[in-house]
Structure formats: C-alpha cells, structure tokens
Amino acid sequence: MSTLIGRQTAGNFEQSLAFFSSALFDQVQTSGLFTDSKHFADATPKTDWDEIYQQYEQQSASGHFKLAEFVEQYFSFPEPIKLAENVRYQTVAEHIEALWSLLQKQPDADSKDSLLPLRFPYLVPGGRFREIYYWDSYFTSLGLLNSGRKELVKSMVLNFIQLQKDIGCIPNGNRSYYFSRSQPPVLGLMVDMLFRSEGNYKDLDFLKECVEAMDSEYAFWMAGAEQLSEPFQTHSRSVRMPNGGILNRYWDEQACPRPESYAEDIDSAEHKKDHEKSTFYRHIRAACESGWDFSSRWLADPEDLQSIQTTDIIPVDLNCLLYQLEVLLSQYWDLLGQKSKSQLYQQKSETRKVTIQSYFWDSTDNFYRDFNLKTTSQSAVMSLAGVLPLFVNLANHEQAEAVASRLENEFLCAGGLLTTLCQSSQQWDAPNGWAPLHWFAVKGLQQYQQNELATRIMQNWLANVEHYFQAHGSLMEKYNVKEIDHVAQGGEYEVQHGFGWTNGVTSAFYQLMESSQPKLELPNLK
C-alpha cells in the first residue's frame, strides 16, 4: 500500500499486516490465551514492532519463555464498549437516545495497531465491535436521522469515501485486516437517505463527491466483468450469465485465515487437505463480506461449516443492491447534467433487472432464491434475501404478493421474521431474526401496498425488542424470534449488547408506527 490510510502512514498499515503473518501472532492465536481471536488482532504495541519481534525471537528460544507475560509486557488492549452501569431507562426509545452518545467516536489519532484512523466522527455497533462497520452504518443511520444527527450520518459517509480512496474499496470495517473485502454496497442508500432528508439538492459539490464515490464502488464490484465472454465465466466478484448479463457474488482477494478469527479458521480447516484450505478460507471470508456470517445460504450441508461454498453462490440480495446502485447512479448523474453516464447506468439497470428475474425467481415456489454456479440451479434455501427485489422495487405485483404470502405464512413468528427457513447452529438461520432484514422486508412490502403485513412485522419485532428490554435493560445484536424468552445463539462470539443497527431500525419502526393511522398497539408476548 503506497497511499496513506486516513492519517495512518502506509508503513504502519503494512506493519500491522506483517504482524498478522508473524510467528508471534500465530503462537498467541493458537495458544488459547484468548477466547476471542479479535482481542489480539486489535492489540496495540507498546513499543516499536521491530523491538517486539527481536525480543520475541530471543525470549521464545529460552526454555523459560512465558507467552502470557510477554504479551502483557508488550501489548495493550482496548476494552469492549459497555453499557452505563446502574442506569435503567424507562423506555426503549430513551435507551436508544442515550446509546447514540455512548457509541459515538471522535476522529482517530495516529495508531500503530490495526485501526485505520478516520477523519470524522462515527458510530460503532457496540460490544466487541469498537470500529465502524460498513453495512451496519446504513441501518444505524436510520435512527440517527430520526434523532436529528444528520451531520453524524454525513461524516460517516465522508469516512467511507476517504477509506475508498485510500485502499480501493469501502472495507468491512476500519481495521487493516478488513482491507481485502467490503460488505453489501449501501453507500448509495446512505447518500440517497441524506439528500431525501433535505428535500432538495442544495449542496451539489457534496453530491458530486458522493456520486463519484458510488461510481467507484460500482467499478470495484464489476472489476474484470468486461473480460468475461462465456456463460458462467467468473472474475473476482463478477459472473457472466448465459443470457449475457453480468451478476455478482461475494469474494475476498485473500485466501488465508482471518486475523480476527484466526484460531477459529485454523481449527475449522484442520481436517482439510492442504490444497483445499485456501478455497475454504476464501469461502469463509466471502461469507463475511456478505454480512451473513454464517448461514445455510452458503453451506452445501446446513449443519456443516466445512461444506461452505460462498463463492459458488450468486446472491439475490447483493444483485438487488447493485441494481439499486445502478438506478441511483442514473438518477444522480442526470441531476448533475451527465446525460451519457445517466443513460449508461439506466441501460445497465434494465439489463440487470431482466437477469435477476431470469435466474433468481422460482416460479414453482413463488419466491426469490440465490443461484448456485456449480449446480447451475437455484439454491434450496429460502431466506429473507428474497425480499430485496421488493425493497428495490424490482418485482412485479404478482411476485410481491407471492413473496408476502410466504413471509406471512412461513417466516413470520411471534417475535418477528426468521432469517431462513432452515434451523441450524449458524446465527443467520432460524430461529434468529436480525434488524436489517426486517427493515428490508417492511420497506419492501410497503412499496407494494402490503401495509397490513408490514405493520404486523413491525409490531412483532418491536414487541420482541421491548420484551427483552424490560427483562434485561438492553438491546441486542440479534433476537430469537421463535422463543422470545431465549437469548439468540450461534456465531463465533457471544451475542453483543448495544447495538447499532438494532437501535437504528427499531427507532425507524417507532416512527413508522407513530405515523400510521389509527395508532396501533404492540402485541403482548408474555
């Protein structure tokens, strides 16, 4: 990396990456010294890296070397973001308002650790997630706007634009170990949200900066697409389909264990043959780029993470978000007077719309499904990714009615919507429900006048959130929507408190419910 990473020098960025491939990092992460690999990946060196490595080589050769003491001597660790103790708010809304300040971070100072310093204030999700996360920020922003914090949303957009300029993409989060992957492309949604909240487009210079960034993000996802000529030929994140259209998949340029989940990945790949491990690691990393880490969507066997096949799956939700990005780019380039660019993106969106309908719509089960490249057929897994064609207003009314029927009869539970219809040990499966997917579903249904069902989904979700809040005084990263008295399980770490996107979506649902007439009461789930 030759560019500056925010205000962090390229040298510091490269040193942090070198740390992750060092013998010291490997020994610490595989020693069981920490139960969460992210803890050491986020460590800050107390002195120069060269001195730490030199001391490690010398001391580890001694028969009296004590790893824990060495780590304590040479590294410090950030604390997880904790809720204020001995403070109990009366309502969820009051709690969310208080959390905004707790989860906000000011511009970062120079850093020797894995943090990529950001130039403007930003919000973090909470708990072990002490840095900004890309797609989380869109859902968090829904609540920030409701709370009158528009400038904070704008500053997060500016941070993403700067990260994109520095490292070539908007990374998963502002840590150096995330540099090789992004997350679902929501920059355009954040930009559109900002400008729609103003009711006009006064700041055309800022708009132009945003649209250029959206254009760059589109180029990132479409890299190598022009080289593809044969059906199902792939390059990085791009796939040529038999009808000539381009669709996209999740990917990661790296094919090695994730530093933030190093021990977990090494353990998961233990029984893989050497030539299989790099493919396995890439599938794992690609699933992290999706934000759905992990789900039966990506597994050949829903109960076996060893069967992960993420890069073989063309996801319906990713392609809908890219369709929406094409639509927004067409609209905004037209607004900025760039007619030829506007027309180009309009053509791209029309082609993608046809391609999405051709390969993701299941006319037998009347639902949108992912597409498997290896089997050249649709996935067997039914998931809430299937609501994205409604969210981006791509489905026709008959399709929307069919999707709504599926949601009502198969996905909707007392505490909200199931993530998939597959119950597994993975956190992005039943019985868990997640705030961002509820937002996509509700807004998608409202696009097609399915207002009664949309309201019921909001009611059930809010009732679940309030039920847990009354019992425990906090908001969670995810919820069990089948058994609301049970804490949501699954994943590589304990369920986190906070939590950015839950706060944002819940706040937005309160506003939508408040504006509905007549006023609707939440169901009693006790």
Residue 48, number of CB atoms within 10 A of its CB: 11
| pLDDT reported for residue 411 | 98
Distances (CA, A) of 132 to 84, 115, 157: 20, 10, 11
293 catalytically annotated: yes
Q: Residue ranges of the domains in the chain?
A: 1-222, 259-310, 381-526
In Å, the largest CA–CA distance within the chain is: 75
Burial of 420 (0-12, 13-18, 19+ CB in 10 A): buried
| pLDDT reported for residue 458 | 98
CA distance 326 to 522: 38
Which residue type, as a one-letter code, is found at position 489? Q
Q: Phi, psi (5° rounding) for residue 423?
A: -90, 120
Find the helix packing angle between 187-198 and 134-146, rounded to 10°: 20
Distances (CA, A) of 275 to 255, 262, 285, 478: 11, 19, 17, 36
Residue in 137, 142, 161, 149 with CA at minimum distance from that of residue 210: 161
The pTM of the whole model exceeds 0.85:
yes
Distances (CA, A) of 349 to 40, 79, 239, 386, 392: 43, 45, 16, 19, 11
| pLDDT reported for residue 111 | 80
| pLDDT reported for residue 526 | 39
Residue 260, number of CB atoms within 10 A of its CB: 26
Of 215, 260, 265, 293, the active-site residue reads: 293
Extract the tokens encoding 471: 């019992």
477 catalytically annotated: yes
Q: What is the pLDDT of residues 392-420, one digit of tens each?
A: 999 999 999 999 999 999 999 999 999 99
Q: Is residue 41 within 8 Å of residue 204, measured between CB atoms? A: no
| pLDDT reported for residue 493 | 63
Of 131, 192, 429, 477, the active-site residue reads: 477
Q: What is the pLDDT of residues 281-324, one digit of tens each?
A: 999 999 999 999 999 999 999 999 999 999 999 999 999 999 99
**Which residues, 6 or more positions from 241, have their beta carbon under 8 angstroms from its beta carbon?**
231, 232, 247, 355, 358, 359
Q: Phi, psi (5° rounding) for residue 308?
A: -60, 140
Which residue type, as a one-letter code, is found at position 475? L
Dihedral over Cα of 242, 244, 249, 254: its sign = positive
| pLDDT reported for residue 407 | 98
Domain 1-222 has CATH 1.50.10.10: yes
| pLDDT reported for residue 444 | 98
Dihedral over Cα of 253, 255, 260, 265: its sign = positive
Beta pairing partners, 372: 313, 377
Extract the tokens encoding 297: 């969507």
| pLDDT reported for residue 204 | 87
Beta pairing partners, 371: 314, 378
Extract the tokens encoding 398: 């008959």
- Counting as low any pLDDT under 70, the low residues of the chain are 1-11, 83-86, 199-201, 492-496, 517-526
Residue 103, number of CB atoms within 10 A of its CB: 21
Extract the tokens encoding 396: 């026709």
Extract the tokens encoding 417: 């919507």
